[in-house]
Amino acid sequence: MSLFEIIKPAAAMVTQPVPMDPYASAVLNRILGLPRNAPVMECTLTGPVLKANQNILIALAAPEGHLGLPVWESIPVPAGETVDLRRLGGTSRIYFAVRSDGDEPSRFRLRTESLIRIKTKPDVPLSWADAEIQLTDQTFRILPASDRRGIRCQGAQKIKGGREIAPEPMTYGAIQLPPSGDPVIVGPDGPVTGGYRRVATVAFSGLRRLAWLMPGEQVRFTKITPEAALNHVACLEEALARDLMPC
Amino acid sequence: MKQEITAMKIQWLSERELRILMPPDALTPGLRRKISQSDGPSGSIVTQGAHAVHFLWDPRTQPLLKDPTSLQRKTEAWIEALVVDSPKKIEAETNASSKFTVPVRYGCDPLMTHDLERLARLNRCTLEEIVRRHQATTWFVAFSGFQPGFAYLEPMPGSPAIDAPRHETPRAKVPAGSVALGGSYCGIYPQEGPGGWNLIGETSLSFLDPATGTGIWQTGDLVEFV
């Protein structure tokens, strides 16, 4: 018997080999005592209603204060009870992981502190930017046409210098500039090669910020050095190893 | 050969990604195939583009990123070894390749006729001549991208040239199975979607493996159109 059944499905729910937030899955799995790379569910704009088939533990990742449920900690759900994740309350995406709770509920009741949680809305860090292109001196709006393939940004000022190029490799976090002057951040389901000029790359530690961007949200980019980018990753790794506390 | 290697341009595109821009014509079918079949240096994911090869590391698990100079040196050595090791003659390069023969219905709808006429005008020749050159060219799978299962086909050296600049405004919908020319490349759209290339014909062959969502061809494979 599976751990839970889905009573009301979500429009966009996937188990992704490449989560938009590479840390959400690691933290949820850590909270539940599961292997780091165990699959988690990623839902966009709305989530499902689940019913526990046995005693389970569920952990949710979302910015705080949106869901009306505790986030970044394990929640015991007794057999037969439901969890309603339909109302994301103004966040774009949630992640959840589930494990069996056996006969002794709440064995893995852990929560995470500080660093790994999303508390503020920091700038998106760029660990490389083409010197000819000015991306950091204005605010961009996230357009509704954004999805896991690409996050479309629009600034008040169009950026000059965008053009078509012979196709070159792209990766999650690459920023392309088409001739329109509105940058596009390549998402985890984006093409492996792209035909617009590559003008910047989001630092690895900034990818998690991209996962929580809402259409209409304002965002700024900030330039950081590759050394700083690697330090952020080291800090996140350290926090992941250390920063989990018993409730 | 030494000259070729020193002509490579190397650039970090972030704390985790290195781009090696290859000299013109260095990315032969044989070298592309070798690159696609080799494990990346120091655990990197390797992706090929038109003129460049990119190496992507996971900064959570690759401590060598803190010493980019040494990682760069290892990567250069990796690609130099493949350059030295790849066959020098076209015939030898393509010995290991599969060859696909793709039947095409040329100009079978008004969009295709429109684009064939555009290419004839740009190349100062007849519509039939565009078709003849397309069929007289042996193409090879250079790299993939754009859509799942889409291969960029490059003409083998010595093939008749077709100049095929992309449309300034891409079409919103190009039917699956469309055979198209863009720049110096040829491609077959695996699925319906937007596209800015010149449509010249259609094929009923599908090169998308539904089980994996990727193309059934390998880098370096040969393609001829009939």
Give the start-to-end residue ranges of the domains of chain A.
Answer: 4-118, 124-237
Q: B-chain residues within 8 Å CB-CB of A25?
A: none
pLDDT at B11: 96
Distance (Å) from the alpha carbon of A127 to chain B's nearest alpha carbon: 5
Mind giving me the DSSP string for B135-204?
A: HH--EEEEEE-SSTT-EEEEEPTTPPP--BPPPSS-EEEE-TTEEEEEBTEEEE-SSSEEE-SEEEEE-S
Between chains, do A174 and B13 touch, taking CB under 8 Å as contact? yes
pLDDT at A105: 53
The pLDDT-based confidence of B6 (bands split at 50, 70, 90) is: low
For the segment A173-188, the average pLDDT, to the nearest whole number, is 94
| Type of residue at B206 | S
Superfamily in which the A124-237 domain is placed by CATH: Cyclophilin-like (2.40.100.10)
For the segment A105-125, the average pLDDT, to the nearest whole number, is 64
Q: B-chain residues within 8 Å CB-CB of A204?
A: 14-16, 59-60
The pLDDT-based confidence of A112 (bands split at 50, 70, 90) is: low
Q: Which of A59, A171, A130 is nearest to B59 (CA)?
A: A171
**pLDDT higher than threshold 90 for residue A114:** no
Between chains, do A204 and B59 touch, taking CB under 8 Å as contact? yes
Between chains, do B49 and A168 touch, taking CB under 8 Å as contact? yes
pLDDT at B89: 64
CA–CA separation, B76 vs B62, rounded Å?
A: 17
Structural domains in chain B?
2-94 (3.30.70), 99-225 (2.40.100.10)
The answer to whether residue B166 neighbours chain A at the CB level (below 8 Å) is: yes
Across chain A, mean pLDDT equals 87
pLDDT at B176: 93
CA–CA separation, B159 vs B162, rounded Å?
A: 9
The answer to whether residue B165 neighbours chain A at the CB level (below 8 Å) is: no
Summarize pLDDT for B96-142 with one digit per residue, the tens.
678 999 999 999 999 999 999 999 999 999 999 999 999 999 999 99
CB nearest B145 (choices: A173, A192, A204): A192
The pair of structure tokens assigned to B84 is 């030295």
**pLDDT higher than threshold 80 for residue A110:** no
The answer to whether residue B167 neighbours chain A at the CB level (below 8 Å) is: no
Q: What pTM did the predictor assign?
A: 0.88
Between chains, do A167 and B146 touch, taking CB under 8 Å as contact? yes
**pLDDT higher than threshold 70 for residue A24:** yes
